[in-house]
Amino acid sequence: AQKVTQAQTEISVVEKEDVTLDCVYETRDTTYYLFWYKQPPSGELVFLIRRNSFDEQNEISGRYSWNFQKSTSSFNFTITASQVVDSAVYFCALSENTGNQFYFGTGTSLTVIP
């Protein structure tokens, strides 16, 4: 079974629109960590955020915000006023306290049209 599901394979938005990327995870651990990474066309994965399971406070960083809801096992990522430079593939990932690896979703490809 997939531990991290990113149901949106591809999304296109027009510049300045807001866009939300969905991430649903599955774990039995009470302590776990969630991550978002950005993969621009160059290929390198860029770390965006890390949250632990005990901190459900939403986080905002500039135009980026994250909504963590344990009740629905979701960790969604919103880009406000999207820009062309936001075009990339975004990955959500889960790591469990009892495990030894990250579990990545299959990614959401975001295209921002000028």
Partner 1 sequence: DGGITQSPKYLFRKEGQNVTLSCEQNLNHDAMYWYRQDPGQGLRLIYYSQIVNDFQKGDIAEGYSVSREKKESFPLTVTSAQKNPTAFYLCASSLSRTGSTDTQYFGPGTRLTVL
C-alpha 95, offset from chain centre: 13
The residues in 45-104 that bind partner 1, with binding defined as CB under 8 A, are 45-47, 50, 91, 95-97, 99-102, 104
CA 30/CA 65 separation, integer angstroms: 24
Instruction: Indicate the DSSP class of residue 30.
Output: S
C-alpha 72, offset from chain centre: 15
The residues in 13-32 that bind partner 1, with binding defined as CB under 8 A, are 32
Q: Which of 88, 107, 110, 112 lies at the binding interface for partner 1 (CB under 8 A)?
A: 107
The nearest distance, CB 93 to partner 1, in angstroms, is 8
